[in-house]
Amino acid sequence: MTDGTTNFINGEWVAAVGGAVFASTNPANTSQTLGLYARSDQRDVALAVAAAKAAYPAWRKTPAPARGALLTKIGRLLEERKEAFSQAMVNEMGKVLVEARGDVQEAIDMAHYMAAFGRLPSGSVVPSERPDIYCSARRVPVGVVGLITPWNFPIAVPTWKMFPALLAGNTVVWKPAEDTPGMAVLLIQLLADAGVPTGIVNLVTGYGEEAGAALVEAEGVSTISFTGSTSVGKHIAGRCGQLMKRVSCELGGKNAIVVLDDADIELAVKGCLWSAFGTAGQRCTAASRLIVDKRIKAHFAERLVAETLKLRMAPGADPTAQIGPVVNRTQLERIHSYIAIGQNEGATLLTGGTPLTDAPLDKGCFYAPTIFDSMTPGMRIAQEEIFGPVTGIITVDGLDEAIAIANGTDYGLSLSLYTANLRRGMRALDELESGIVYINLPTSGAEIQLPFGGVKNTGNGHREAGWMAMDWCTEWKAAYINYAEGSELVRAQIDV
């Protein structure tokens, strides 16, 4: 068990300057403390930023293929430690083992994908309007980047940020979520074991309002990459605007699955179960709205409830578990508060709506998979991100109404439509307002080689993953090189 010596600064494991610690607990058994972690403040952040700043010049000059080779090594070490990481994630965050393995696999995929970028083009040569002038544009690193990450994907989300940033030649200070500091320590130790040079990646564990806010404010941090709630994201983006820092925000979602009258109902039910209840609904891509055509709604609802009742709730370490606990008691209570909100607005419960209190689930934060019926688009449960195993059915008459309702929230991350009709599918692809659209697939299931992120209140225009993962952590530098003979100045736009 860790004793609070969990900040990694300039290649050393150290305690917080002030000596404060906080505990991480197991959401499947909240009486089990997993470790004590450094509760950092601006003094620790300042030390971490200084280390990252000092390490930057040499790392920037390290050839990109060498940086890529290090990522390959990191990817291989992640493969070796995948099972140990997955078990630890189950204990600290609560997701079931098979999903924890998927979380680590995303990091492995990202390491190998980004490693290849070390040898791919990172700019272009373009013609000049003047003779004997060489023009090019290339990506350059932005310097020290600050990463602030949530608990729901404690390995995937940080590595989606960290690996592109490192490949691009930046150095890093990372503030992970207070619910998953143990996963951060494991990842940072792995990077050290892989041979990441001193000062390139630094870790400050602690609370958002203390360590996170200090990282946003810190002088010397040029760019913040944040994943988390829309309210915190808006606050951080506002501060970064005032400080003239670059900021990339990946925020919440209110995702929907549309099921049309010609859909394969069994396929759609499987997709809805996975999207609504996977990771106990604690995904930014979770489907908390099911928009169903009135012609098939009764049959769909019956099949969905029947399959939901078969889901096995258990601690994630149980190999038969299909749904684990939610991350903590505060989150459990927040989720439960939405049941009364929904019922007061006129929605009815088809199943669920309660915390689970039979042993051994009473030891942890388990919530019954919940389905509302008679949800209407304006209800709070149809507009606000609940971030738990709660979904609701909105009944519609045909494609036009379905698309309008699917688009009718402040978020725009992931929307899905089930249909057997290619024309309807293509129309949805054109008209659904979200960063990701799925046809005949659930709203969760992104692959790392495509851009990830959303529109409206889901983000501020950036994307992670895919070939555009390099955008938020690089600047463009244009170059003009004159190799003409003679002493003539040839002015652009004027002398040509």
CA pair distance 453, 326, nearest whole angstrom = 24
For the question of residue 250 being annotated catalytic, the response is yes
The residue (of 106 and 178) whose beta carbon lies closer to ligand NDP is: 178
Kindly state whether residue 385 participates in binding ligand NDP, applying the rule CB under 6 A. Answer: yes
Site for ligand NDP in 411-470 (CB under 6 A): 413, 458
Q: Which of 224, 289, 274, 218 is nearest to 250 (CA)?
A: 224
106 binds ligand NDP (CB under 6 A): no
User: What span, in angstroms and rounded, lies between the C-alpha atoms of 288 and 192?
Assistant: 40
Query: Considering the rule CB under 6 A, would residue 212 count as an interface residue with ligand NDP?
Result: yes
Distances (CA, A) of 97 to 86, 216, 384, 411, 473: 6, 34, 29, 30, 32
Task: For ligand NDP, give the closer residue by CB, 46 or 54.
Answer: 46
Asked if 126 and 137 touch (Cβ cutoff 8 Å), the reply is yes
Task: Verify binding: residue 472, ligand NDP, rule CB under 6 A.
Answer: no
Q: Is 209 a binder of ligand NDP (CB under 6 A)?
A: yes
Residues 473, 164: contact at Cβ < 8 Å?
A: yes
Could you tell me whether strands 123-126 and 133-141 are parallel, antiparallel, or unpaired per DSSP bridges? antiparallel
Handedness of CA 360, 363, 365, 368 (dihedral sign): positive
CB 271, min distance to ligand NDP, A: 19
Round to whole Å and give the CA distance between 347 and 373. Answer: 6
Q: Is 479:473 a contact under the CB 8 Å cutoff?
A: no
Instruction: Choose which of 71, 190, 284, 406 interacts with ligand NDP (CB under 6 A).
Output: 284
Q: Is 20 in the site for ligand NDP (CB under 6 A)?
A: no
CA 105 to chain CA centroid, Å, is: 14
Interacting residue with ligand NDP among 59, 387, 418, 472 (CB under 6 A): 387
Calpha distance 55→144 (Å, rounded): 9
Using rule CB under 6 A, residue 250 touches ligand NDP: yes
H/E element, 141: strand 133-141
- In the complex, minimum distance from the CB of residue 269 to ligand NDP, in angstroms, rounded to a whole number: 24
| 3 state SS for 371-410 | EEECCCCCCHHHCCCCCCCEEEEEEECCHHHHHHHHCCCC
Nearest distance, CB of residue 435 and ligand NDP, angstroms: 9
Over the window 128 to 167, marking each residue x when it contacts ligand NDP by CB under 6 A and - when it does not, the resulting string is: --------------------xxxxxx---x----------
- Region of 66-74, 227-235, 240-248, 302-310 interacting with ligand NDP (CB under 6 A): 227-235
Supply the minimum distance, in Å, between the C-beta of residue 401 and ligand NDP: 26
CB of 210 to ligand NDP, least distance (A): 8
Compute the least distance from the CB of residue 493 to ligand NDP, in Å: 43
Active site residues per annotation: 250, 284
Give the footprint of ligand NDP on this chain (CB under 6 A): 148-153, 157, 175, 177-178, 207-209, 212-213, 216, 227-229, 232, 235-236, 250-253, 284, 385, 387, 413, 458
